[in-house]
Amino acid sequence: MTDTARASKSRRAGGRKARHALRAAAPSRDRRPIRPGLAGGQYTPLSGDDIAGIHAAALQVLDEIGLADAPQSGITAMKRVGVVLGDDGRLRFPAQVIETALPQTTRDLTLHGRDPDHDLILSGANVHYGTAGAAVHLVDGVTGAYRDSTLTDLRDAALLVQSLENVHFFQRPMVARDITDNRLLDLNTIYASASGTTKHIGTSFVEASHVHDAVPMLHCLAGSEVGWLTRPFVLQSNCFVVPPLKFATESCEAMEAAIKVGMPVLLLSAGQAGATAPVTLAGAVVQAVAECLAGLVYVHAISPGHPTVFGTWPFVSDLRTGAMSGGSGEQALLTGACAQMHHFYGLSGGAAAGIADSKLPDMQAGWEQAISNVMAGLSGLNMVYEAVGMHASLLGFCHESLILGDDMLGQALRCVRGIEVNDDTLGIEAMRATCLGGPGHYLGSAETLARMERDYVYPNLADRTSPGEWEQNGAPDLVQKAALRKADILSQARSQIPPDQDRWIRDRYDIVLP
């Protein structure tokens, strides 16, 4: 071997060792290539005229059609701010009422975690990915078996989310089917979620009384009543409407209870295009916007400025069967359009993405989850709900898919971050140093080493080896790797509720988890 060849090989080896050493030392949070709250907004499926048209149509729907079935308490409150109750029992919303309510909405909303490091700043086009849903089955990603989901499954999902860097919040993704009493279900759902994660939590309540029953537990977990009121870490996900254009009476009463105890509210409108919403994508967005604007008036008629997430969640039907199609391109378009409407109003907003119609974490699930998550992030959606783990059009939740989804969200977030173009990144000096008397490659250069952790995202489980290396490693299966990582995380996980708080809660509540 010549001296030149030895020097070249030494440089390559030295560069490889340096890169490996750098990979072993994770960068500080502010120097990572991706993080919660990256700003999106690059993707805009609606033009300015489109947005204006949807807004005008939503105002017309509210003024001329209105909403039915509000509880008497809501009717009384909304009439005080100018909403009109017609002889047909429908509440109609003059444009002036909407225009008065919008400026009262809290801007740049913060959704708190019990750990302040997990606070979510819902400002502008900042993007956050998380779980959500009401799946009734747990899917075994390895065997493909479906079974009823349990409270332990829910707690385990929260423990996994606590360890997944790219899943930024935990909204209850499945229902504990082993608890049949609704009050016991609501209270144990909060406990199981809090025992698993210190990230922001979202859940729903069947009845208003359950909200009040949960308050002592929430105060305990927050350290005090003042601690809760200062940093409420649980949001009520509230399906306050039954599309098309009807209030859900019991859910509205639960929403009123949440407002009274200082709990943030997600106003969730979930019509299904072609079934409970107009079949056109534009019409589905119009109805969702109109319903959520009505909800906004409702909230601020009770408590102006109460922290509220504008939750336009229009879904899509497969018109051949009428079944939901959460993994479709149309769903991704709807979600992107909703994000634009949130920005138009200057509201903190959320919508659904990442839903797989596929029953298992397979190739179909991969494209269905990735397409809508990337488009949601690029549209600048503040809260991307149902982003990971959801299968069978929201009927099934899969722990292995949740873990694999963390890798997928890492790549989605890198797309959201985009490409920075400035004097440092254009690379002219790096080319000069490399090509004019330099080694002729960029491996091991100071800039490459400095940028490899700041600009590039590396998957935890996805395989980037050559076919030969893959075979030498035993041809590992991706889902099997996720199952092993699940077992490893859960074997080391511990309750996120301190022992003294846990004892206090167990003395006062019927907690099902051992």
Q: What's the pLDDT at 107? A: 85
Rounded-to-5 percentages of helix, strand, coil across the chain = 50, 15, 40
Q: What is the pLDDT of residue 19?
A: 52
pTM, two decimal places: 0.94
Please, are residues 224 and 192 in contact by the beta-carbon 8 Å criterion? no
What pLDDT score does 24 carry?
A: 55
pLDDT at position 32: 86
b/e code 138-176 from CB counts within 10 Å (16+ = b): bbbbbeeebeebbbebbbbbbbbbbbbbbbbbbbbbbbb
What's the pLDDT at 15? 55
Domain residue ranges of the chain, discontinuous segments joined by +? 48-100, 106-418+501-508
Q: What residues are paired with 130 via a beta bridge?
A: 169
Residue pLDDT, tens place only, 363-385: 999 999 999 999 999 999 999 99
Where helices occur in 346-427 by DSSP H, the ranges are 363-378, 399-417
Q: Is 20 helix (H, G, I), strand (E, B) or coil?
A: helix
Asked whether 390 and 354 are in contact (CB, 8 A), the reply is yes
Give the integer Cα–Cα distance in Å for 30 and 343. Answer: 26
Which residues in the chain come in under a pLDDT of 70?
Answer: 1-30
Kindly state the DSSP code that residue 326 receives in the 8-state scheme: T
Fold classification of 106-418+501-508 is: TIM Barrel (3.20.20)
